[in-house]
Structure 1
């Protein structure tokens, strides 16, 4: 596949597919469905598929150095061996039932960075309007220690990538903005926030990954129907059209890390729209001509 014919790889029908990663030890894609409360694992060659139910909303997943996974649930961070029990190691702001976890990615130092947001999912899984910037960024150590990374507040935290020049990039979906922060490896504080990419008129920023050249691939959710490739200086380099309207997260994978995989969502969509576009919530793939980077591992 090339960038002009991104196609459906697996008809997951996720409500909110998210947190896609490539496990290079077993050549599998791993991702979650937040509202579907399940974790997926897929062989993209044979399409052999496994899935596991989670006890609550599942918000992110990362790989562990010892071979298991680290999982973000509604407010908890848990260690999980594929198919085993969830072992909580940290709870993020347990005194705030009005917020939940959202994005979570393993950092280069082996910690897990997570973002929060005002809860937007009702008891019946229907959407709730977000009326406050309640989200913040946190770092979770392998021993379960939690540190707040910044005093900045976000509407919806999304995107977590670490650049080759020592900066951290994250997005606020509600503000249609992608920011860059100074970060020193091993430090638990972010500083020098700058707007890297904002105001793009195709959807809103969701998850991102970085290619080997240091360019960021950003999923444009809420009708964006595309990926934006963003240069290290914040310039829009390329737009890749996708056959889904809410792409949510992306990851390079395959034996040569030369295939870009994309999850998507069908949250809030009408029955009429889904009848006309039945592959919303699917997993898509294409070869963009660049290669990716290996995922970091927790611990």
Structure 2
């Protein structure tokens, strides 16, 4: 389980409060991600470090690419189409009758829909952290016309990680439980069933976002002080641990030439001023050469 000579380096000092939802746009050759509490969307060319950012109208909780060249963005409660400009066009509102929940993880699925998870809102007035008191989270599917369907009755503390494997398995995580689960994915009826434990009990941090490499292994960010990535085999066995120079890694994606670099976002939410002065790289974007490649992201539409 040794990570060998893998060294993570800081690529861009974003200073995100909660960097999340990292994806690689192979057409633009750029990384795209959100800062949830910063309410902004980033675009970065990791080779030239050419950077752009846009302000979102509310919490920016996730982002995915569209087939038409735009993007699909999760906000606090809304899912909106966005064209890398000023306008966010809402196509769906999730749990409109539950004012104490918000969106969290959102990833485009292989069928071109957006899957998005909810959670009890943990961001209070003035953007200060608020305790989570219950398992309020569920996972939904938003189709291209904006129709919303719940995929399962299962409840989560914090929905995180969305991965679809070649054998119609869906992998997800409940951060608050330090557990990752696998489901049987019914493509025809758009349901997930037969929940089983995939990976749990790892002592460093908690599971946040994940991506899959071309060999079918899952790379998971260990948030809340974990300070590392773990690589997990398709049958749920720990394969590697890669230390990172940040304590709250949040999301990861393969990108760059031939998808051969693993990029990682991070957060500085809840950290003391003293810790941030000593560790200014927190909230930055990092890169690791893992020796394996990733695959292109799915596109909405």
- Pick the TM interval, shorter chain: over 0.9
Structure 1's 66 and 3: CA in aligned 2 closer, same or farther, altered over 3 A?
farther
Contact 2:7 2:289 in 1 (8 A): no
Structure 1 CA distance for aligned equivalents of residues 143 and 84 of structure 2? 21
Alignment pair present for 1:286 and 2:283: no
Structure 1 CA distance for aligned equivalents of residues 235 and 17 of structure 2? 34
Contact 1:3 1:287 in 2 (8 A): no
Q: Please, which runs of 5 or more residues in structure 2 have no aligned partner?
A: none
Match of 2:11, SS state, is strand
Structure 1 CA distance for aligned equivalents of residues 192 and 286 of structure 2? 34
> 1:2-151 maps to which residues of 2 (within 5 A)?
4-151=6-153
Match of 2:115, SS state, is strand
Cα displacement (A) at 1:184: 2.2
2:172 paired residue number: 170
1:273 paired residue number: 275
Q: Please, which runs of 5 or more residues in structure 1 have no aligned partner?
A: none
- Normalising by the residue count of structure 1, what TM-score does the alignment of the two structures yield? 0.99
Structure 1 CA distance for aligned equivalents of residues 60 and 297 of structure 2? 20
Match of 2:277, SS state, is helix
Cα displacement (A) at 1:5: 1.7
Correspondence for 1:258 among 257, 260, 270 = 260
2:157 paired residue number: 155
Match of 1:281, SS state, is coil
Structure 2 CA distance for aligned equivalents of residues 6 and 12 of structure 1? 16
Structure 1's 260 and 28: CA in aligned 2 closer, same or farther, altered over 3 A?
same
Structure 1 CA distance for aligned equivalents of residues 217 and 187 of structure 2? 20
1:298 paired residue number: 300
Match of 2:131, SS state, is coil
Match of 1:256, SS state, is helix
Match of 1:4, SS state, is coil
Contact 2:231 2:238 in 1 (8 A): yes
Correspondence for 1:221 among 209, 220, 223 = 223
2:235 paired residue number: 233
Q: Deviations over 1:268-293 (max 9, x none)?
A: 00001101111000000011000001
- Normalising by the residue count of structure 2, what TM-score does the alignment of the two structures yield? 0.98
1:181 paired residue number: 183
Cα displacement (A) at 1:164: 1.7
Match of 2:275, SS state, is helix
Cα displacement (A) at 1:4: 2.7
Structure 2 CA distance for aligned equivalents of residues 169 and 269 of structure 1? 30
Cα displacement (A) at 1:202: 0.7
**What is the RMSD of the two structures over their aligned residues, measured on CA atoms?**
0.8
Structure 2 CA distance for aligned equivalents of residues 174 and 5 of structure 1? 28
Structure 2 CA distance for aligned equivalents of residues 176 and 21 of structure 1? 24
